[in-house]
Structure 1
């Protein structure tokens, strides 16, 4: 065994899967996605496994397919911040991260809610900043519509800068006495706590921020985005970036690219952590794990689900086709790209995708369902507890990742087996903590102290100027 003092440590996090084709909601072991008990169980399992954070995605509108609620999904999701606030009371160490859109929320509202969560949890709040790209979701909001692609990241950058100003609007000396003063007692000093004024392209707000500095001052900022603009946004503004690159070689390329972008923002390599979302299937032998993986994929992709997935690319009603038969031989409808609404589209060119899929299906003599199972395969790690622990360790040592977000296929108990069987293997290898060492999420991620807004803005503006001149 190599010298463990020189080995990088593996970090883990947990994702509550929610609405997607990963969750096997029809399994008898599957539980509610609304009841608090489900959130509590998974969060406490992750904390028992000494994970960094518990992560909630968020959908701002129910997904629709061919104009109707897509009833093959788990339907419904309570408010993210409310759930995380409740979890703060039943956990002690694990970070609490929520996805919240910078396109439709407002800075004052969200900064106040996140600062409150950071206080309630003792410094464990995190915000996954996303941009929302469709008018379908925007119909739920007063402004409606949507922002063009370039404007979404511009607004997100402006949003974060505004939120940082609010979080820092209380001077440090006032934060220590806030909430303990007698009613009506004066505050000495010339600086008014909470006073702010922000004018920019997207926001023109002024007032007094009512929440004193929280334990982390800035909740940890997460970002998910694989485009060049998304990577640049993360390099300048985020503490953690999510990625879909779950193979070793792809991960190493992504890791090197995102880390090299940090210097122009005055940041060191360890100031932005890379966490891919991954799945796992365990067995007592490799053969058993692979058999279980096949069974899970059949549960994840039903016949109806396979047809609906194909319809997103073909843009047509394919309900008359047999999911256990060959791919449709009809042309795509390029004018009906919104056949599914409320779901992120990872397919940018339907024609190229259809051509690729036809080639895969022909080569393997695959049915529609078999093809969908193959092209949507999500089991990143399949094996015994010891083999999976070795693979996770290898990814970290080869600098393909800093940590992993585990996405169980069952809610809420899908994480239990991993915690019981894989975590001890990682600890035996000397690459995983045996207790929490910090008091805040920022501590446990190894991020160091927060970065002041003025310093962050200075480097961001310098980088922007460099891009424009280059």
Structure 2
């Protein structure tokens, strides 16, 4: 008897400000109007997706000292948007990225416990760390933690938040008819935490929520990030969507679970993935080429190259060759607040690799940026895309995918209407939700309620 088919997990990323969206497309809509969020979320729920994911932007990015042109629409607050979406959806999980460097455990735990109550058990927290002093200037810290300290703070932050979630042990809550005040035993909500990062005590004022704790996600490809996910997360966002790279990442992260007393099914691996659909594979390939050209204009290509070169390249022709001058090493002063900057820790080595690629393929600056930046993960007819997704999941390159469409808010519609039914026919994706909570959607057990602690 063969190995049973794995069930695929699908989620949708509302992309926010970025260079993924094709802004010039006539169907491109607002990234801040609530109607856009509603359309996107309700499409994902209609397709029986596990959850919607919102990224976080704590400061507008800058290029050459000016606000980057892709950031002019702003960054709505994550909790406000997710709380509003809880009222217009019934089953869809609501995942938000919240930073552990600049926030406090009590505040974040209270917000997530509230969201879990408001949504009936659909909240999830993507725990991230900050990486630049530029963002830190907006906060009390006035800077940022060194790399070696960031994950230490994140681990203690999450542990402290869990202590707050668990301070209500799940017992009965009674209401006093005379006063309308909830009555509990004297230990309800009481907590004490003494640690290197946090020294707090008091009483958590939100009763235990439907999931007990929100589902915890982690995004990070470093060794520290993988270890953090293996120890504490319920799911990790992966960067790899090819079979070979995906299987290597999958095996590495899942292989770390045993040392924390966990089994492989207790952590889901969900890479981000883009897609382009067409009636035929050939049509989809042509459309994908047009999408990439729209995503990477000449100005965008020069801007992206400046992330690596750390110098003003505005005089260069995007349809010409790469600069002969080398990148300026050290702190990046041209592009600030850009996640891509930290990806190039050795810009001189990156420049050498890109020059070799450009020479071998006869690529211009723009063509090189299109070649080396994110490309569509799945391209083809609905049948081709459904087969590709299923194959990667069944071969343990992923447990599912977080889809990032190039149009907002309607970019998910075609996938929901054409690819999802084919996955359902294959018997690898749900036709109906099996339970009310996000833990139900992901097949995760409820967190164990520890023995009550307190002062």
What TM-score bracket applies, with the shorter chain setting the length?
over 0.9
Q: Distance in 2 between matches of 1:70 and 1:185?
A: 50
* CA positional deviation for 1:335: 4.1
Please report how far the alpha carbon of residue 334 of structure 1 lies from its aligned counterpart in structure 2 after TM superposition: 1.5
Residues 186/97 of structure 1: CA separation in 2 closer, same or farther (3 Å cut): closer
1:230 aligns with 2:225: yes
Query: Do the aligned partners of 2:19 and 2:296 also contact (CA within 8 Å) in 1?
Result: yes
Q: Does 1:407 align with 2:404?
A: yes
Q: Distance in 2 between matches of 1:208 and 1:18?
A: 36
Corresponding residue number in structure 2 for 1:245? 240
Work out whether residues 130 and 223 of structure 1, in 8 Å CA contact, stay in contact via their aligned partners in 2: yes
Compared with structure 1, are the counterparts of its residues 219 and 359 closer, same or farther at alpha carbon in structure 2 (3 Å cutoff)?
Answer: same
Matches of 1:415 and 1:140 in 2, distance apart? Answer: 34
TM-score (norm 2): 0.96
Shift of 1:450: 1.1
Structure 2 counterparts to residues 285-296 of structure 1, below 5 A: 285-296=280-291
User: Take 2:164 and 2:330, find their aligned partners in 1: how far apart are those partners?
Assistant: 44
Task: After superposition, give the CA deviation of every residue in 1:331-380 in whole Å (9 maximum; x if it has no partner).
Answer: 22124523111111211110110001101111111111011000013200
Q: Write the deviation string for residues 430-457 of structure 1: whole angstroms up to 9, x where unpaired.
A: 11100000110011100111144689xx
What RMSD in Å do the two structures reach over aligned CA positions?
1.7
C-alpha change, 1:59 and 1:160, in structure 2 (3 Å) is same
Cα separation, 2, equivalents of 1:14 and 1:185: 40
Relative distance call for 1:451 and 1:251 in structure 2 (3 A) is: farther
Q: Which residue of 1 aligns with 2:168?
A: 170
SS of the aligned residue for 1:448 comes to: coil
User: Are the counterparts in 2 of residues 165 and 453 from structure 1 also a CA contact under 8 Å?
Assistant: no
Q: Does 2:374 match 1:377?
A: yes
Q: State yes or no: 1:197 paired with 2:195.
A: no
Residue 463 (structure 1) aligns with:
none
In structure 2, what is the Cα distance between the partners aligned to 1:185 and 1:310? Answer: 60
Say whether the 8 Å CA contact 1:62–1:75 is kept in structure 2. no
**CA contact under 8 A between 1:72 and 1:305: conserved in structure 2?**
no
Structure 1 residue aligned with 2:35:
37
Which stretch shows the higher mean deviation, 334-343 or 398-407? 334-343
C-alpha distance in structure 2 between counterparts of 1:440 and 1:336, whole Å = 44
Q: Which residue of 1 aligns with 2:183?
A: 187
How far residue 28 of structure 1 moved from its aligned partner, in angstroms, is: 1.7
2:111 is matched with which residue: 104, 110, 113? 113
Report SS of the residue matched to 2:229. Answer: helix
Q: Distance in 2 between matches of 1:145 and 1:261?
A: 32
Determine the structure 2 residue equivalent to 1:423: 420
* Aligned 1:10-409 pairs, distance under 5 A: 10-174=8-172, 176-177=173-174, 182-183=178-179, 187=183, 189=185, 191-335=186-330, 337-344=332-339, 345-409=342-406
Deviations 1:369-395 (A, max 9, x none): 011000013200101101110111111
Q: Secondary structure at the match of 1:6?
A: coil
User: Residues of 1 paired with 2:344 and 2:324: CA distance?
Assistant: 20
Q: Which of 423, 432, 436 is the aligned partner of 1:435?
A: 432
Question: Could you report, residue by residue, the CA deviation over 1:221-271 in whole angstroms, capped at 9, with x for unpaired residues?
Answer: 000011111000000010010011111110000001111111111111100
Q: For 1:447, what is the secondary structure of its paired residue?
A: coil
- Residue 182 to residue 387, structure 1, CA distance change in 2 (3 Å): farther
Change beyond 3 A, Cα 1:453–1:132: farther
Is this contact kept in 1: 2:43–2:416, CA < 8 A? yes
Conserved? CA contact 1:164–1:453, under 8 Å: no
Q: Is the CA contact 1:107–1:163 (under 8 Å) kept in the aligned structure 2?
A: yes
**Residues 297 and 377, structure 1, Cα contact 8 Å, conserved in 2:** no
Structure 2: unaligned runs, 5 residues or longer = none
Deviates more, 1:18-27 or 1:311-320: 18-27
CA contact (8 A) 2:169 2:450 kept: no
Deviation at residue 26 of structure 1 after TM alignment: 2.6
Q: Which runs of 5+ in 1 are unaligned?
A: 456-470
Q: Does 1:449 align with 2:446?
A: yes
State the alpha-carbon separation in 1 of the partners of residues 32 and 181 from structure 2: 44
Query: What SS does the aligned partner of 1:38 have?
Result: helix
Report the count of equivalent residues.
Answer: 450
Query: Structure 1 CA distance, aligned partners of 2:250 and 2:405?
Result: 24
Partner of 1:113, secondary structure, is: helix
